[in-house]
A and B are shown apart, each in its own frame.
Chain A
Amino acid sequence: MIDFTMPSLGADMEDAVLVEWKKHVGDHVERGDIIAEVETQKGDIEIEVYHTGTIAEICVEAGQRVPVGTVLARIDAVATMTDDVVQPATAIASTDVAPIRGETATTESIRQAVAAAVTTSNREIPHYYLATTVDMQTSMTWLHAHNAAVPIELRLLPTVLYIKAIANALRDVPELNATWDKGLRQLDRINVGVVVSLRQVGIIVPTINNADTKPLNTIMADLNDIIPRARDLRLRSSDIGNATVTLTSLGEGGVDQVYGVIYPPQVAVIGIGGVQRKPIAVNGKVEIRPVVTITMAGDHRATDGLTGSIFLSKICSYLQQPEAL
């Protein structure tokens, strides 16, 4: 018998309201099925089940607010499959999260969730910062040719190249694909959280899971799926709360560089500015080329600047070979 518990959907989540059961006692469930809907500060989230079996018992009634880790149901599993989804350490969850009011997430509750996470981060994480400027000519030329050759629904955005380059670089520098909770714990999966702006409301960070194993088209399809759902606050448990690193890109507003705040218990955040045409030295001559500034903030308890520096240079070299991504 498997205990199905209230998942942690981010270090800033302490509890949630079970809004509705989608499955009932006696129902057969498959791994990945949506079993319930819960109300969090980030909106109503559909919770997926990680086992295949039959629901034997429902332990929490709809309408109840329960802490993370509470047993919600018991499942008679036919084949137990383990899934090392990252459960961010709840120990460092902020205690100053405002209670949820109303039926669903409000502008205020999302703002409060962001406020709590960044406050915890700045209070507990000694950040170090690095930046590098990357020549994007090869990547942009490749992307442009690719997008001209494929149907419009298969066009890629530069963000897809960044996500894959980051995921590959994390495979090379696994110390940054980790959590810090009184010690460094490296993670097997590489799940890249992508900061999505909710415009005036705040931000939400859905995840591209196992980004290192996915081809560019799949990463783009994932973005096409999760960004609209993130903006509608219709995310599932597998979309959120399991990022192992975070990417923030603010290039659209025309800023050159962005320095992020680490989302605990992660140990790094990567910031990517806009692609700008600037003069740079190429083979001893000045040329105007598309360049982008990539920054990283690292948790100095977990790693040192040298590690971050190697990581950034790995990202740069992956971006010089877009066809291999």
Chain B
Amino acid sequence: MTEDQIREVVSNALASLAPDADVGSVEAGVDFRTTLGLDSFDFLQLMQAVHTATGVTIPEDDYGTVTSIHGLTVYISAHGGQATPHNASGDH
């Protein structure tokens, strides 16, 4: 996946979790949980949406590095995100 494709996946996932917010205005480097008011339930939904859209499974130990749009995008890119919605086996 290209950086732009990954960024779009992340933006769409965030937009569906915070429909009233303007995800486009969230700075790439800030913690989006605070900016968008996401709780741990939303965050887990985000991890599942990322998995479904890219095949990348993010372990809980890595949660700390994926709380910004930039961090999450880099992570998906580094772990070989594939734009295949049916890739359910993860990146292992």
Q: Which residues of A contact B (CB under 8 A)?
A: 144, 147-148, 151-153, 155, 157-159, 197, 199-200, 223, 227-228, 251-252
Contacts of B44 in A (CB 8 A): 155, 157
B19 to chain A, nearest CB (A): 9
What is the size, in residues, of chain B's interface with A at 8 Å between Cβ atoms?
A: 17
Instruction: Say yes or no for B47: interface residue by CB 8 A criterion.
Output: yes
How distant is the Cα of A179 from the Cα of B58 in the complex, in angstroms? 44
Query: Using a CB-CB cutoff of 8 Å, which residues 44-63 of chain B contact chain A?
Result: 44-45, 47-48, 51, 57-61
B60-75 Cβ-contact flags toward A at 8 Å (1 or 0): 1100000000000000
- Chain B residue nearest to A232 (CB atoms) is B19
Asked if A157 and B40 make an inter-chain contact with CB atoms under 8 angstroms apart, the answer reads: yes
Extra A-B contacts (10), CB below 8 Å, given A151-B90, A158-B40, A199-B37: A153-B51, A155-B47, A155-B60, A157-B40, A157-B41, A157-B44, A159-B41, A227-B41, A252-B39, A252-B40
Asked if A153 and B60 make an inter-chain contact with CB atoms under 8 angstroms apart, the answer reads: no
How distant is the Cα of A251 from the Cα of B40 in the complex, in angstroms? 9
B30-47 Cβ-contact flags toward A at 8 Å (1 or 0): 000100010111001101
Asked if A152 and B57 make an inter-chain contact with CB atoms under 8 angstroms apart, the answer reads: yes
Partner of A153, one of B48, B58, B59: B48
How distant is the Cα of A197 from the Cα of B17 in the complex, in angstroms? 13
Binding site secondary structure of chain A: helix
B29 to chain A, nearest CB (A): 20
Contacts of A252 in B (CB 8 A): 33, 39-40
Closest 9 CB pairs of A and B: A252-B39, A152-B51, A152-B57, A199-B37, A147-B60, A152-B48, A157-B40, A227-B41, A153-B48
Instruction: Say yes or no for B20: interface residue by CB 8 A criterion.
Output: yes
Asked if A199 and B20 make an inter-chain contact with CB atoms under 8 angstroms apart, the answer reads: yes
Task: Among A148, A151, A152, find the residue whose CB has the most chain B CB atoms closer than 10 A.
Answer: A152
